[in-house]
Amino acid sequence: MSVFRIMGSPYLRITGLQCIASAFRNFFFLQYRAALSPGLIPVTRVDHPLDLKIPFLPGKVITYLDFIAFWVRCLGFLLRQCGRKSLEPVRSFIENIGQAYAFAAEVYRINLSTTERPFYIRQLRFLTIHAVDPHLMCIPSLHVMIVISTYTLFKQIIKAMGNETLFAAQAEELRRGALAITEAVLYIKQHSVNCISAAMYAMSRFDLRLFPPAEAERFASDLFREGNSITREDGEEIREYILSLYRRFLTEGEKCEDWKKPLLDFLNELPRK
């Protein structure tokens, strides 16, 4: 319903189509081109030993695949609850998502990355993932960038419209959803802990107002706090590592003009596929 509401609006339709075009150009087309032309772009393995402390939980695939519907539902909520005054913020939101794809692709076009993932096809959803995802765009994780964009943009929008208190529960629900999807990308082995730090760094460089270091610290500190799939000790070690690598990228990024350099240097330290 939210998709029809967006695409049915003359004010939002063009921006929506541009966002879709950006996703296809900067994610699908670029990735398939590289997969069909081995050696065209170098591919780095970005696994980390801490990934082994995160169990493979196939049931989390439902949460993982929800990331597009996640931000689309958010826009549908704004359009329903705020009407015409939400049109421009929603248009800007969609534009931001398209720009995030292009921003991440600045790294992908120079150096692709991958992780070890189990060939699990007992569920149709996993069969679809293996069939359509060459798994070459791990650093930075677009999944994580998109869900962070969603909850931070929503918070910014409701604050600007004077509805911060009214929609506080929805804002927190979105933040929790972003955490759940971030955890899911690790649980189903689509990403490494390295990818989370890289995505957080990319988001801070993409829009520092949306995701300043303080918010990044808060976000990472809340990962793996719920459930019992990971021990308390392992959870603490994982959070500390994600934050330390994020801080490293930030520190290195302050010394260079090109935001990509810390990520590219990191990729150069790891083994090639």
84 SS3 class: helix
- The mean pLDDT value for 29-55 works out to 95
- Mean pLDDT value of segment 131-142: 93
What integer best gives the mean pLDDT of the chain? 95
Q: Where are the domains of the chain?
A: 2-269
- Across 28-32, 90-94, 147-151, least confident range: 28-32
| Residue 9 vs residue 170, higher pLDDT | 170
For the chain, percent of residues with pLDDT exceeding 70: 100
Distance CA(135)–CA(116), nearest Å, equals 9
User: What torsion, rounded to 10 degrees, do the Cα atoms 188, 192, 196, 198 define?
Assistant: -150
User: 127: pLDDT confidence band, cut at 50, 70 and 90?
Assistant: confident
Q: Is 165 helix (H, G, I), strand (E, B) or coil?
A: coil
Q: Span 148-158, mean pLDDT?
A: 98
> pLDDT by residue (tens digit) across 72-88?
999 999 999 999 999 99
- Rounded to two decimals, what is the model's pTM? 0.95
